[in-house]
Structure 1
Amino acid sequence: MLEWINDFGWIIWLTVFLLLAVAEMLTLNLYFILMSVGALAALVAFLFHAPLWLQIVIFCVVALATTVLIRPLALAHLRRGPADQLSNVDRLIGHPAVVLEAVSTNSGLVKIGGDVWTARIRGGAEIPVGAGVEVSAIDGATAIISSPGAHRPTGTAATTA
């Protein structure tokens, strides 16, 4: 068994690299990709005929070093920007929308930008097809809408159109 590892260790390190890369794609937390760099370093050590114990040490040292040194810098870079900058669906609050299917307290469809969303209104009368409305909140995959100019909940960072 040890002889096979000495002959085909590159397969093991390549497999470890690929498994760690796939784990990173599934988690997106910047741990596994940095560990996969350690596996690549161990693969290079194998190609230079380093003994197995040294390959393992190189894997551990490189994985630890990249995690300790590079991960904080990468996370700081990803989080760079104003703290109040809205992202994802939070940016939709306050945007105008057009009713595609009459919106009631239970159901409806609106078009926000170029996307069609399920929608409902918190209270009041049904809003007819073609009416212009405003997104006041997002609840899961449903836009909560109100008539333009209606009072928006306090605390939202939406801008007026």
Structure 2
Amino acid sequence: MDPEVWRWVWLAAAAAFIVGEITVAGTFFLLPFGLGAAVAAVFAFSGAGSATGWTIFVAVSLVASIAVRPIVRRLNATGDPISVGAERLIGQAGVVIRDLSAGADRMGAVRVGREEWHAESVDGVDLPTGTAIEVTDILGTRAIVRPVDSES
């Protein structure tokens, strides 16, 4: 192929890889190839042959791929997963709004944040209205709670 054509091929490849990277969010997979093609285009415009262009493309793409990995790893790192649904209540503090008794009908009610839940005590102990609690588990539509020590 004519060296004049390679200039435009490398430039078009660089544009295609970079546009592809922009449209595929969060991967950084095409960026190294876009950089490699852009550098190969610069060399092609300065008169380098096609073999040199391919060598530059492969070398720059490889180095850019290695260099971008720590950045991608840091950007994709996630902290604690955000709890969704009823699971978000586990560990939350609340207050008993209807007595939790140890009898046959052990269920009472608690308020956690702005929500009211049917609840039962984790130990089966009586918890009178107004007792501070912590949600330890969710079983279906019931919150399993334990009293919070007033000393802590």
Partner of 1:76: 73
Aligned-partner Cα distance in 2 for 1:148–1:59? 59
After TM superposition, the score normalised by the length of structure 2 is: 0.51
Q: 1:41 aligns with which of 39, 57, 81?
A: 39
What's the Cα RMSD here? 3.2
Which one has a bigger Cα radius of gyration?
A: 2
User: Which of these residues, 24, 29, 36, is aligned with residue 27 of structure 1?
Assistant: 24
SS of 1:49's partner is coil
What is the total number of aligned residue pairs between the two structures?
A: 96
Identity %: 17
TM-score (norm 1): 0.49
Stretches of structure 1 that go unaligned for 5 or more consecutive residues are 95-133, 135-146, 155-161
- 8 A contact 1:13–1:43 mirrored in 2: yes
Q: 1:53 aligns with which of 51, 54, 60?
A: 51
Specify the alignment match of 2:131 in structure 1: none
Distance in 2 between residues matched to 1:41 and 1:17, nearest whole Å: 9
User: How far did residue 80 of structure 1 move?
Assistant: 4.8
Q: CA deviation at 1:7?
A: 1.6
Give the counterpart letter for 1:33 in structure 2: L
Displacement of 1:79 = 3.3
- 8 Å CA contact 1:38–1:60 kept in 2: the answer is yes
Q: Distance in 1 between matches of 2:15 and 2:117?
A: 53
* In structure 2, distance between residues paired with 1:149 and 1:79: 36
**Residues 104-154 of structure 1: CA distance to partner in whole angstroms, max 9, x if unpaired?**
xxxxxxxxxxxxxxxxxxxxxxxxxxxxxx9xxxxxxxxxxxx72336974
